Amino acid sequence: MTKNWRADRKREQYYRKAKRENYRSRAAYKLKEIDFKYDLIHPGDRVVDLGASPGGWSQVAAELVGGDGEVYALDLARFSPIERVTFVRGDIRKDSVVARLLEHIPQGADVVLSDMAPNISGNYTYDHARSVDLCEHALVFASQVLKEGGNFVTKVFYGDMTKGLVSMARRSFDEVHVTHPKATRSTSSEVYVVGIGFNGARFSPRSASSERS
């Protein structure tokens, strides 16, 4: 990471805006734009934020659900507390973590968010495949905890496997959209797959693997 890269980042408008407005990351503005475009999160909703650290999306979700809503932030890493956000530490691929979350929300979630991304190796084909794999895990998780009519969004590095991910999402949602928020860096390959209206079709890890093959 070079000094020039750090300087460019600090000059970047969304980075500066996040600092001014006390968001933990510039990614907050991506979720704001997606929510505005697709009416994703409503007052009173129960929202689960996967891979939540450092917490920019959880902050926005807490604002959008208001005092009657609930936000649950899940991550393997430690998470600095956010007012009105409950942190659950663990791996979303484990049944025990899903069960622990459902103890908090036995009636299910209204929205599942995922801004997860793999550690970058520099090999785009490899990074894309790992990104899709994370998205599939997020989709499986969402299908296990969402109430019917619920919504979902996940980040993916765009590539030749994206079409398969979108097809998989269409099994479980009435509408599926692919969007590239303005707050995303122009050099980034990331896009967001948005599922609106969960129809009750649930995936298991094994069924997700068969969708990909």
Q: What is the pLDDT along the chain (213 residues), one digit of tens a residue?
A: 555 555 555 557 777 887 787 778 889 999 999 999 999 999 999 999 999 999 999 999 999 999 999 999 999 888 899 999 999 999 988 889 889 999 999 999 999 999 999 888 999 999 999 999 999 999 999 999 999 999 999 999 999 999 999 999 999 999 999 999 988 877 789 999 999 999 999 987 655 544 544
| Contact indicator for 105, 46 with CB cutoff of 8 Å | yes
Give Cβ neighbours of residue 210 (< 8 Å, ≥ 6 apart). none
State how far the Cα of 156 lies from the Cα of 30, in Å rounded to an integer: 13
pLDDT of residue 213: 44
State pTM to two decimals.
Answer: 0.88
Q: For tokens 């999402």, what's the residue?
A: 169
Active site residue 155: yes
Q: Which of 94, 155, 163, 182 is catalytic?
A: 155
The identity of residue 182, as a single letter, is K
Question: Is 26-212 assigned to CATH 3.40.50.150?
Answer: yes
Structure tokens at 90: 């663990």
pLDDT of residue 3: 59
The residues with which 154 forms a beta bridge, in sequence order, are: 114, 193
pLDDT of residue 11: 52
pLDDT of residue 108: 95
Cα–Cα distances in angstroms (integers) from residue 118 to residues 124, 131, 142, 182, in the given order = 11, 6, 19, 22
pLDDT of residue 8: 56
Cα–Cα distances in angstroms (integers) from residue 171 to residues 92, 142, 188, 196, 212, in the given order = 21, 13, 28, 12, 13
Q: Are strands 109-114 and 190-198 parallel, antiparallel or unpaired?
A: unpaired
State how far the Cα of 85 lies from the Cα of 62, in Å rounded to an integer: 7
pLDDT of residue 9: 57
